[in-house]
Structure 1
Amino acid sequence: MLIMKKRMFIAISCLLLLCSIWPNFVSATKARDRSEILQNIDEYMNRSMEVNQIRAASLSIVKGNEVYYAKGYGTFENGQSVTSDTHFPIASLSKSFTALAVLQLADNGLIDLDAAYNSYFPDNLAQDPRVHNITVRHLLNQTSGLNDQINPDMTRKPQFQTLHEVNRLLTEVQLAHSPGTAYSYHNPNYVLLANLVENVSGERFSDYLNKHIFQPLGMNHTFSVSTTQQFYENVTIPLGHYLSLGRAVGQTEPMWFIEGPAGIVSTAEDMSLWMLAQYHEHLLSPTLMKQYHAAGAIGPYGMGWLADQDESWGRIISHSGIFWTYKSEEKIFLDEQMGIAVMFNSGLNAYVNYSTFIDEIAKIMRGEKHATSFVNGRNMEMIMITLIVATLLWGVYACFRIRRRNQILTIRKMMWITIGRIIPIVILVFLSPLMTFIGGGRVLPWFGIWTTLSTPIIWLVVWSIVNLVHLACYYYVYVQHKKYS
């Protein structure tokens, strides 16, 4: 009996000891797991930035009810380190803020989403009577009938200077299609919405955002600007870049009026608070909150968000932001209660898939395999540089070969040779409409085409010059043959 009591005492003591150390063991395991995840994220970010020649970036991750990770990567031009409080333009991620401002006013009964936009501006006249049928919801859903082809935005000269000027475009424009019948992503839709917020609230748009969205959410380092030129008045924003011949080139943005669709500047810390608010804060009444995160009537674009449903992740809202020297991506997994946002000081590039950053980081968060794609800025730039050098070498060799050829050139052959040699010139001449077609109808300025396709354009120019020299050689040989025949 005494032996049994001793054994029971020892067993109970061991159990109590195990219970006392178990929470610490679990805590250590969680800490180690989190530390490993963050290390994997850092390694992925540093590696991906290096192979894509990205100088500076900022990452926000939220999970559950906490800021899981907020960090800056890289440096400013002067070598200053990027931190989680470094400012980055978020470009079109701004649209979800503008949409929220409109919905807040709708929640307060000051805006009817299905009322005509012009009903809030009774003095507005319009050449196209369909303009009077554009509702606030059409503008939110990007189904107003406006698009870049009938109302060029980035190429507009002069650019708007204030929101009050924007109503002019509705008096002059002929809509591309009737409101509510087709989707066309068009930034001025959200300029008009910003103007509506300013008109209905009686506050400047930037002041409204600060008072009713930024401050309540604790986003104390976030602000809104009217034009891209204001980026360079703030030394806390890293200079933007584009990629050319394998190197990052510092460049300021061209003048563009962006208040409403793309004017917000924020930090990793503040973007974390914004993402948390999408599934924790009561930003709107339940009915409007549901509409805020839902797809539109005729497409995935809803109210400042692209809405999607994934078998693995559940409900997702997302948006990307594009400038020529800055880029941003944001994705919020509503059912998983997780959000990821990444901001870069490099712009739209043909070889860099910025959305991959979020997809791969999401895999790391889930413990899945992740990888850096072979198709990246460094590899593709090296391929293009090799192609440029090869084109030059081929051009020199072909010149000597053409001059030494004995084959008689007929007019028919010369016509075919000429057609073949002007192909790169034709591509260069029609590059702008080609990019508009590829970009879903968005009219791009030549500055934007250059920053997006700098090295391919250099190759096309080199190829064109080589071909023109070849043509000159062919015509010289043709004339010589005609002369002595």
Structure 2
Amino acid sequence: MKQKIVVILILLLTLISCKKEFNFFQQENENGLPNYGNVDVENVFTAEDSKLQDKQNVVNTIQQYYDKVWEKGDLSGGFLVAKGDKILFESYRGFAKENNQVPINKDVPLHIASISKSLTAMAVLKLVEARKINLHDKVTHFFPKFPYKEVEVIHLLNHRSGLPKYEYFIEKLGLKPQNKYFTNQEVLDLLIQYKPDLARNTNTGFMYCNTNYALLALIVEKVTAHPFPLAMQKIVFKPLGMEHTYIFQQKDSLRAAQSFYYQGSRLYPTDKLDGIYGDKNCYTTPRDLFKFSKAMYAENFLRKSLKDSIFTPYSNERRGVNNYGIGFRMKVFDNGEKLTFHNGWWHGSNTAFVHLQKSKVTIIALGNKFSRRVYSALTLSSLFEDFPLEREKLNKLMNKEIDTTKENHDAAAESTE
């Protein structure tokens, strides 16, 4: 008799679970986009998560780093370091517009360049969670004329597609946009029309490629039937309360922060690739990006298996420290520690976003006045976890004089972008 009761209870619980799932997807179909709900990013952590031993010494070191690299280096942008939900250090300097207009503060969005990929990847994973996309869907499932038959969604996410880089083949073929700027759809159309050779065979190794994320943005548009900027608002930005975050469109030209060359206040010009999004063109603030980081620690924003997939190293053909997950770079050290982050560069914008899983630390550096020194924010990770190489780099940096008369403008040579 007891066994029958247990069986009946299990059946009832299963039916209730199925009904909840049915209601979820029923509401999803009515609204046109998955009903993700709002995540309370202010209540993700316990009090213990935000505690930090030797806090004052850590904060003092961060202050010394900021004074040395940002103040003496004459950088421009926003900088934030947090443990759990407690901001340990935050500072802003410089201007968002030429002629020293619009001082940068906590509410001024800046172009985060390739950190945009982390946000694009999250939107795709949310659609995977909602069963609108499968990670192993072929790109031809969405775009039947796409000429590279073996490329799957997962290969776009982890940069193992082998696709040619759009910025290279556009230049090599001497192609011009239909209007002033190329669009994502034009990138797809050009791939279909010209069929440039793969840079390497699909799924044989890692090759960082902006084309991957430009195509992912198109897939998001296809399955949601919403323009990518609107889809990102509904899927990621609004649920997390990222009020100062948006995907750049030409209508945003007047309000968007500008970027500058290192010396003086000479403005970086726009070019024909500035209309493509997904791989870049997200504008946000350190505080909004901090909300996104907190959501990735939360249990109710993305199911655990998908969240774990973000920080799984997918390219292991050759031994080495550097690897890539889904929308995140990582350094996997011999001691078993894993440093997860993403950098960005576009025109005069250099950016760094560090999301430390174990210590629950977020480090954000968004610069709009070209300097590769922004990437040195990564070394601060050694204050919270056991990253000996980063600690060594930090010590060297703190003992080295900043030369403000020189700055390497060869951004393409930056190994992390």
Relative to the length of structure 2, the TM-score reads 0.72
Matches within 5 A, 1:4-403: 37-38=58-59, 40-54=61-75, 56-76=76-96, 77-78=99-100, 80-122=102-144, 124=145, 126=147, 131-148=148-165, 151-152=168-169, 157-159=175-177, 161-171=182-192, 172-173=194-195, 174-226=197-249, 232-234=253-255, 237=257, 239-244=258-263, 247-256=264-273, 257-298=275-316, 300-310=323-333, 314-347=337-370, 349=371, 352-360=372-380, 363=383, 370=395, 371-372=397-398, 374=400, 376-378=402-404, 380=406
The 8 Å contact of residues 93 and 104 in structure 2, kept in 1 or not, is answered as yes
The 8 Å contact of residues 296 and 302 in structure 2, kept in 1 or not, is answered as no
1:153-185 Cα deviation digits (max 9, x unpaired): 577742464333332133122222221113221
Consecutive unaligned residues of structure 2, counting only runs of 5 or more, are 1-50, 318-322
* Deviation (angstroms), 1:151: 4.7
Runs of 4+ in structure 1 off by over 6 angstroms are 30-33
CA distance in 1, matches of 2:297, 2:170: 34
Alignment CA distance shift 1:231-1:33 (3 Å): farther
Q: Counterpart of 1:249 in 2: which secondary structure?
A: coil
Identity of aligned residues (%): 23
Q: How many residues align?
A: 345
CA distance in 2, matches of 1:258, 1:166: 9
Relative to the length of structure 1, the TM-score reads 0.63
Alignment CA distance shift 1:314-1:252 (3 Å): same
1:200-256 Cα deviation digits (max 9, x unpaired): 111111111111111111111100114xx6664216x2x322235xx4533333332
Alignment CA distance shift 1:84-1:281 (3 Å): farther
RMSD of the TM alignment (CA)?
3.4
Q: What is the aligned partner in structure 1 of residue 6 from structure 2?
A: none
Q: What is the aligned partner in structure 2 of residue 422 from structure 1?
A: none
CA distance in 1, matches of 2:254, 2:284: 15
Q: Counterpart of 2:302 in 1: which secondary structure?
A: coil
Higher-Rg member (1/2) = 1
Alignment CA distance shift 1:230-1:309 (3 Å): farther
* Deviation (angstroms), 1:314: 3.1
Corresponding letter in the other structure for 1:363:
L
Alignment CA distance shift 1:231-1:360 (3 Å): farther
Consecutive unaligned residues of structure 1, counting only runs of 5 or more, are 1-29, 385-431, 443-485
